[in-house]
Homo-oligomer: A and B are copies of this chain.
Amino acid sequence: MRQTSDSLPVLCASCEARHRGVCGALNAEQLSELARASHLQVIEAGRELVGDTEQVESYSNVLSGVVKLTKTLSNGRQQIVGLQFAPDFVGRPFRDESPISATAATTVSLCSFPKATMERMMREQPNLENRLLRQALDELDDARDWMVTLGRKTAAEKIASFLLLIARNIDPKAAAADRPASFDLPLTRSDIADFLGLTIETVSRQLTKLRIDGIIRIENNRRVT
């Protein structure tokens, strides 16, 4: 189905999710319907996305920034179980409450829409389900990769894997050309520790070690491979 450019909702015109994200599965008509039901929002670092009542009933696309998905143990121990970058989709279909909480790691902008609308469209448009399946399978692959990192790597290897992961997601062009990537770390030391199953101190020590060995450079909390 072709569409003229003016039938495209302005909201979506420059949106990454329109192509690489879940919205790519929709036709022009569905897209504008979804756009009508959706709204943009900006969340500053540290605030929770879902779980704070008015958001439980919605799904979102990440437009910019990084969202961390965390699980907390009774005694306060925390583990980050996933990071979502643009244009990923946030929200758990087919289950009312997810045992996972989603928090903005950086300032995040979101395109959110009601669960009900999304679920109706899933029924009408199998392509959408296909997209979601693909993303779920990709996330599953990521999660399993990370299990190897958590279970079988040393602190130094964990830090290295983490830096690579971020580099690939923030600065894909440089990573592909495999020359020095440079970016701001989207996570605090404490987030990194929670992601890697380490303590803040160990993260800090490993980073200074990499810096002293000349592998990376750090200014403030920013760096270069």
On A, residues with C-beta under 8 Å from B are 69, 71, 73, 77-79, 81-82, 92-95, 98-100, 126, 129-130, 132-134, 136-137, 139-141, 143-148, 150-153, 196-197
Contact = CB atoms under 8 A, between A and B. Distances in A.
B150 A197 contact: yes
B197 A151 contact: yes
A71 B93 CA distance: 28
23 contacts: A71-B147, A73-B152, A77-B153, A78-B152, A79-B147, A79-B148, A79-B151, A79-B152, A81-B144, A93-B133, A93-B137, A94-B133, A94-B134, A95-B137, A98-B141, A100-B144, A129-B129, A133-B136, A136-B140, A139-B140, A143-B147, A150-B151, A151-B196
Contacts of A73: 148, 152-153
Nearest to A143: B143
A144 B82 CA distance: 8
A141 B95 CA distance: 11
A115 to B, nearest CB: 14
Given A82-B144, A143-B143, A146-B147, A92 B152 contact: no
B71 A145 contact: yes
6 smallest CB-CB distances across A and B, nearest first, come from A151-B197, A81-B144, A143-B143, A126-B126, A150-B150, A136-B136
Contacts of A143: 140, 143-144, 147
Contacts of A130: 129
B140 A129 contact: no
A145 B197 CA distance: 13
